[in-house]
Amino acid sequence: VLRVYKAAVQQTLDILFLTEGREFLTSTDAVSRDSADRTIIAWDFQSAAKISNQIFHERYTCPSLTLHPKESVFVAQTNGNYMALFSAQRPYRINKKKRYEGHKVEGFAVGCEFSPDGTLLVTGSSDGKVFFYNYHTARIIRTLSAHKEACVSAIFHPVLPSLLATCDWAGEIKIWQ
């Protein structure tokens, strides 16, 4: 173990290193009726200090974080049935004009990911579908009825970008082209 970081909150749901590797983000389920701070925490990698815990102010947990491959932004999947777009540079501001909506999370830890070229954002859905969004417009460009159970992950192949892997809550994994 090189370092230990203590969030002093409930469980950590996801970890995302930012491009330079000097900072990383964590998402937690530390949401209550009275407070939404600490939902996403930014950390300094070297000092283990918290840089910010006031990134996301809505009262939803964020089970998944993903970094855009070419731009300095990241997306947080929320349990509010949308994905929020943020700057990946301090002060990590949310883009209030762009939301990726239409899929359902409904309490599942649904993952999301950008295509290798950064033009698409893909996510699973609690109804078993996969949603493809145009990154720039935030519009749904395609849905795929992938599973009978909740589709909890959709991820592009790192070398063959025309391949997509999906998995569902029951453990079924599918590869799509």
What is the model's pLDDT at position 59?
79
Q: Which fold has domain 12-176?
A: Methylamine Dehydrogenase; Chain H (2.130.10)
Closest CA to 123 of 92, 87, 98, 151: 151
pLDDT tier, 148 (very low <50, low <70, confident <90, very high otherwise): very high
User: What is the reported pTM?
Assistant: 0.91
Please give the full DSSP string across 20-60, using - where no structure is assigned: TSSEEEEEE----SS--TTSEEEEETTT--EEES-S--SS-
Domain boundaries, the chain: 12-176
The mean per-residue pLDDT over the stretch 70-82 comes to 95
CA distances (Å), origin 14, targets 29, 126, 172:
10, 19, 22
Alpha-carbon span 120 to 135, nearest angstrom? 5
The mean per-residue pLDDT over the stretch 90-108 comes to 94
Alpha-carbon span 163 to 131, nearest angstrom? 15
Contacts of 51 (CB under 8 A, 6+ apart): 23, 42, 43, 44, 90
What is the model's pLDDT at position 52?
87
pLDDT tier, 115 (very low <50, low <70, confident <90, very high otherwise): very high
- Which residue has better confidence, 148 or 158? 148
pLDDT per position as a tens digit, 28-74? 876 555 555 568 999 999 988 889 888 888 878 899 999 999 999 99
The mean per-residue pLDDT over the stretch 144-172 comes to 95
pLDDT exceeds 70 at position 14: yes
pLDDT tier, 8 (very low <50, low <70, confident <90, very high otherwise): low
